[in-house]
């Protein structure tokens, strides 16, 4: 194998490694960060949307609803029910008294509300825009691709 061939194999290896690595990265997100899952300050309807806007949720990620007191994390199926805080088909996810972990297994908008009292009307609701896990659409990471190309170009000068 000549130098160029070695360089090309290296690119291939890096691409495979990167695909495996990206597939392995799944994040946990605590809803509301340190504030947790509660009626937002000042009943702010913008509190959870602006929290959610800071992240890109992927299939394989996990949401952690963390709370003290009397709340639920309940999934509703559509935007109309979410907007109107319609609890009638809400699927309550509970895993103990103080919180629940919800892994995202599918793409799409995932809607959650609290079904206690008027908490939902007071802004305790959150929608996640969940997109495909990058590992299901394998493509080289731009940085690694650039690095691999650079290494392959410089390879002869290493010898
Ligand atoms: C709540 O609203 C009051 C009055 O508008 C404001 O002074 C205060 O900073 C707000 N608190 C939060 C946490 O947004
Ligand atoms: C939040 O909503 C509740 C119920 O509607 C109301 O009693 C309370 O005064 C509101 N709090 C603020 C800070 O607007
Ligand atoms: C959940 O909230 C409690 C306080 O209510 C805090 O001590 C704990 O660190 C939080 N857990 C996570 C995962 O954020
Ligand atoms: C609430 O959801 C239920 C079940 O999906 C539906 O039958 C009902 O019409 C909804 N109510 C409103 C006000 O949208
Ligand atoms: C929590 O709130 C619900 C109303 O949504 C009520 O039925 C229930 O008794 C409350 N639980 C506690 C422990 O306060
Ligand atoms: C969800 O995210 C995707 C990818 O970022 C975007 O194309 C789409 O418009 C978003 N959907 C909504 C309803 O925000
Ligand atoms: Cu609540």
- Residue 54 in domain: yes
Per-residue pLDDT of the chain (159 residues; tens, 9 = 90+): 555 655 555 545 555 455 445 555 789 999 999 999 999 999 999 999 999 999 999 999 999 999 998 999 999 999 999 999 999 988 888 755 667 899 999 999 999 999 999 999 999 999 999 999 766 554 455 555 555 555 566 665 654
Ligand 4 pocket test, candidate residues 88, 113, 115, 121, most atoms within 8 A of CB: 88
Answer yes or no: do 113 and 46 share one domain.
yes
132 lines ligand 6 (CB under 6 A): no
Answer yes or no: do 34 and 62 share one domain.
yes
Q: Which residues contact 40 (CB under 8 A, 6 or more apart)?
A: 32, 47, 48, 122, 123, 124
d(C-alpha 10, C-alpha 6), whole Å: 6
Ligand nearest to the CA of 100: 3
Answer yes or no: do 13 and 77 share one domain.
no
Number of domains in the chain: 2
Q: Which domain holds residue 31?
A: 27-132
Q: Which residue's alpha carbon is nearest to atom 13 within ligand 5?
A: 70
């Amino acid at each position: 194998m000549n130098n160029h061939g070695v360089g090309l194999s290296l690119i291939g290896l890096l691409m495979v490694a990167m695909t495996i690595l990206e597939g392995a990265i799944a994040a946990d997100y605590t809803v509301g960060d340190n504030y947790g899952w509660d009626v937002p300050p000042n009943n702010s309807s913008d509190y959870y949307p602006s929290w959610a806007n800071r992240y890109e949720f992927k299939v394989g990620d996990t949401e952690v609803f963390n709370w003290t007191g009397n709340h639920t994390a309940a999934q509703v199926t559509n935007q109309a029910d979410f907007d109107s805080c319609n609890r009638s088909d809400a699927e309550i996810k509970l895993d103990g008294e103080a919180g629940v972990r919800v892994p995202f297994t599918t793409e799409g908008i995932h809607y959650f509300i609290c079904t206690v009292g008027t908490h939902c009307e007071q802004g305790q609701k959150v929608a996640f825009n969940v997109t495909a896990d990058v590992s299901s659409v394998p493509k080289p990471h731009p940085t690694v691709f650039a690095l691999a190309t650079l290494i392959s170009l410089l390879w002869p000068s290493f010898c």
